[in-house]
Structure 1
Amino acid sequence: MNEIVDADVSRRSERTKSSAGTVELDGLQKEFGEITAVDGLSLRIESGEFLTLLGPSGCGKSTTLRMISGLETPTAGDVYISGERITSAAANKRDTSMVFQEWALFPHMTVEENISFGLEMDGVPADERADRVSEALELVELPGYHDRKATELSGGQKQRVAMARAIVCEPDVLLLDEPLASLDRKLRQHMQVELKKIQEELGITFIYVTHDQEEALTMSDRIAVVNEGQIEQVGPPNELYKTPETKFVATFLGETNLFEGMVSSDGTTLQSDDYTINVDGRGAHGGAQAVLSVRPEEIAVADSDGHFGYQNEWEGTVTEAIYKGSLKNYQVDIGSRSLEVECQSNNKTDDFDVGDRVTIGFPSTVGQVIAD
């Protein structure tokens, strides 16, 4: 019994030492009737980190964010912010601010009134409110917009005002629930850069929810890929993209080609009824079922009479050719299946049309072997 007490005291002591803005989720679970939205999720987010919860609709990422904010109460598990257990604390008692997809600005108020509303509710003096509103507007690059009505703003400007309203209260943790989802693509890409810049200038913890891979890859220090209420993998963007640990992560974070089969006894090949892939002894143990994930840009393509000298090569027919500006994407039928290939569009030697015969291939060192 004493060992259990000592262990609990030790854990609380460690949390007390945490920096402001750390967030720890310990076995979070949320049930809605017979539906389990979040299933035993545990995660530590460091102070000043930009962490993204990435996953498909309905995977539990927004519910997790709402439990951090206090808008939802966990069925089980705990939430710690800056080392303090705040699982049962009211939303207004947590040192967090939240930015929603809809922005939720008051249409009858000016920009300044929208931003200063929370400060006024907290009893902050008028002079200090004015100074902090001006600082927040400078940070989101909307100086001089104090007297504009919310109805007079563009979508991008409304998003910036919502950000200013959230950061003006100087929270330790900022929670963002798909705030760019309703913007057009060009503005969304611009705001991704701006959000990251704001986060770096403020130095506070950002927890961002999205289903958009590009947003996650562009802004995040780390990404936690969520599937069916659980975390599949967490790590820096390049690590998750290059070395996915599960089939779900490989397919959700970017495009990929999957080869499924049995690893040979010596671990050098992946074998199925339709192909034998040389995997250079990497990954799963001999005799185990496994999946090889190969990204489209890792596959080379050439004329049908060309060869690369790779261990894995096929001849095939281009069934689809898609021009994407700086990139070209091909679907190539190799008989047993179709593979996706991606090339730089300025490479004239990789310029093919539907119906062309080509050679495609990749070396044995390419791709990620995943235990199935």
Structure 2
Amino acid sequence: MAQTVVVKIGTSSLTQPETGQLALSTIAALVEVLSTLRQQGSQVVLVSSGAIGVGCARLGMTDRPKSIALKQAVAAVGQGRLMRIYDDFFTAMQQPIAQVLLTRGDLIERSRYVNVYRTFQELLQLGVVPIVNENDTVAVDELKFGDNDTLSALVASLVDADWLFLLTDVDRLYSDDPRSNPDAQPISRVQSIKQLAELQVQTGSAGSRWGTGGMVTKIAAAQIATGAGVRTVITQGRSPMNLLKILAGEAIGTQFEPQPRPFNARQRWIAHGLVSTGKLILDDGAVEAISNAGKSLLAAGILQVEGEFESHDAVTLCDRSGLEIAKGLVNYSREELQKIQGHQSEEIPIILGYEGAETIVHRDNLVLSH
């Protein structure tokens, strides 16, 4: 059955751990699998790390650079070389590819988000495999995805994928780090992200010497992807053939069940494209109205305003305990909200001295959290 599949491969799977040199046999096997999926009619997107690792190897560097400027320079060296290698392998399979470099800013601004969405649609309809990476050469800290696990989840949400595969250096998720704890239990299926908290998974920190993402980022990525209705799998990157086996129904790796897809494209953008710059703490009545009655947020229900934001920025809506219940686009700045919080809508023009929106966050600009 034709499906849309997003595959993310990490630096730890793409490179030899001892030397940082590319693991060409893994890349060849991955390209073969992705080309097979394309031949079977599936749409395929590859999110590939490795530009900094490849750049380091090309320049004879033995350690990953620390400063942003040096990382960006090394990524610029590595990205071209990485794409050339992919192009050589995919060309051998008669499979056209495209390079897509993104920053978080491309997904924050609505017009750019729509433009990226259309580009992906055109590429996939042309039968091309887009190869996606963060645009490390220009990204600044506040506009970085942080890691390619997050990037791959946002891309999976953007293209409305059926599957997201996170290829890593362990075969699945464990209750503890199996490299240091021989009693760590494998986890093959996760019904909900809440289940992970119950399992108290000790997911460790950053991965290999060359990579940036540990299990923590993979679980965060699974949360984004499954929330957008994308089935997510963590599996061994050194065995790309596992992808075909998993798609055929074999129980390999850890599978995260997708949540129902309540989102349209605009809601997906609000939920996953935008970064919250503020937080509104709501009273119980407002929480009930938003969560169960599908209503907009009014000023009367706001107890506390946190963060620095302007009108039309994204904010997180929380209950009294600080638990996130929704995310939305706010109609007022922080300064304005601090003046009108707790007041009735008809009082807003008197307090501010001008007519403003009746709602603080309109229900059309609001997405409930899971």
Superposed pair shares fold, TM > 0.5: no
TM-score when scaled to structure 2?
Answer: 0.32
By percentage of residues, which structure has more helix?
2
TM-score when scaled to structure 1?
Answer: 0.32
Bigger Rg, which one:
1
By percentage of residues, which structure has more strand?
1
